Each structure stands twice: as structure tokens, then as C-alpha cells.
Structure 1
Amino acid sequence: MADFLVAAEGELKKVNWSSRKEIAVSTIVVIIVVIAMAVLLGATDLVFSMVFRRLVG
């Protein structure tokens, strides 16, 4: 078990970690895309609901 932990620590030192700025920018991009998709899906749902109400009702 100790050998595994030593090996894991060695591998983690080799990782090229992203900078704080890169992580912040990526997070903002993800939030914007999620909001845009939510608005798009909500608008699509609203349009389809209105169309089906007119067809059925």
C-alpha cells in the first residue's frame, strides 16, 4: 500500500496542472454554455407546447 501511495505521489508531480486563470475562464465558459442551452431548450419547449395546445385544444 505504501508503494502505491509513493507511486501515486510521483505521478501527481508529473501532471501539468492548469493555472487558476485557465480554470476560471473554463468555468465561466461552461456556465455561459449551460445557461444558453437552458434558454434554448426552454424556448423550444414553450414553442412546442403552444403548437400542441393549438392542435389539440
Structure 2
Amino acid sequence: MIINEFKLLAIAKGLDIYYSDTDSLVVNGALPPEVCDSAKLGQLKLEHTFKEYLPHLRFTI
């Protein structure tokens, strides 16, 4: 699965995507266990869980 398929799955599950790049996603909930298996090649690995997320705000003057 490529990262865009993981993103579409997260959106279909009603999750908000806060950040993504070529090999990671930051979402506001759990993805199904069948896509989060660090033992399988091409699957995601849960590395961190957070209780609070504070986005970096950028201001331009």
C-alpha cells in the first residue's frame, strides 16, 4: 500500500490527518490493525501515541 491509500483509509474512517510525508501519518485516532503491523513489509508501524497535539503555527507579517 502506498501512503495515499493509507490517507484515504484514514479519511474513510473519519479521522483527521494532521501531518503526512512519504512514510508516516499523524492522525487523531487508530487505524485498523490490519494496516498497522510492523512485522509486515509495506505496513505502518505505530511509533507514538499522544494525548495532546499542538500544531506549529506560522505567521507572516
Pairwise TM-score range, normalised by the shorter structure: under 0.3
Higher strand share: 2
**Scaled by the length of structure 2, what TM-score is found?**
0.21
